[in-house]
Structure 1
């Protein structure tokens, strides 16, 4: 898995494959924590969604934008977290038309448990996040190019 061909040209597709594999390993890694919390069947996508909420309440519209997730998928993820008593959905006090999602104490505890179990060297984590950001930017730029070309 060099990430490049004979001409020294790299392929972002290799990053996608490695990212998907890493996510499966992450799922395996956190499964005992989920099982201990009585959530052994929770999808890793919902765990990722839970972790995106552990910094404080978020408006649903912001989740859709920030996490680059389709609105219907956000609705399903929120419903799953609410059903598991990990989050609550309420009206935004500033604008009653807008919904806000907040982790419950149970959700906060689970998120904290996952973060503790996955803590590591800040330099390595920073480098990994930088690489993921490069990949995201490449994909976003490519999508814009394709949209303008079509």
Structure 2
């Protein structure tokens, strides 16, 4: 396949295209596993609930959004069966939001789907090139600050995805 000259050296566009392909591969795997209703943006909520239930206020703070925005996201995820609101035993006025069994299962399936994508890349590029790609992407992610944001669960959705 030939690549347009203005694209073949545009690292940002190539990374965006590769990321979009990876996202689509993960989405297909999740759909095959019965999670066709989950969106990438849901993962930003899930990641903050992995360590246990949170109040809407705390979740909103971690997501960098308003309480109203977080409530809307939680309501959607609750309707899909991924989260559940329960009374806060320490504050009768508050409710906690936590992952359901289905919520934990979709997180596990997403991790497996990302692993399957990595394996697919190994098949296409070979072991050595894939290892080099991973090292290079890790270095770039550190340099741009993206890895730190990811590890601190502060990475925001790109373009509203």
TM-score range, shorter chain: 0.5 to 0.7
Q: Moved runs in structure 1, 4+ residues, more than 3 A?
A: 17-27, 119-127, 133-136
Q: How does 1:16-55 map to 2 (within 5 A)?
A: 24-55=20-51
The number of equivalent residue pairs is: 123
SS in 2 for 1:80: helix
User: 2:46·2:103 contact (CA, 8 Å) conserved in 1?
Assistant: yes
Q: Which runs of 5+ in 1 are unaligned?
A: 3-13, 137-150
Identify the structure with bigger relative contact order (alpha carbons < 8 Å, sequence gap 6+): 2
- In the alignment, which residue of structure 2 is the partner of 1:128? 141
CA-to-partner distance for each residue in 1:90-123, whole Å, 9 max, x for gaps?
1211012122111111110111221233357897
> Are 1:105 and 2:101 an aligned pair?
yes
Q: Matched residues in 2 for 1:19 and 1:75: separation?
A: 33
CA contact (8 A) 2:138 2:147 kept: no
- Residue 79 of structure 2 is matched in structure 1 by 83
- Other-structure match for 2:6: none
Gaps of 5+ in 2: 1-9, 119-130, 151-161
1-structure distance, mates of 2:65, 2:18:
20
| Cα distance change on mapping 1:91 and 1:118 into 2, 3 Å | same
Q: CA RMSD in A?
A: 3.4
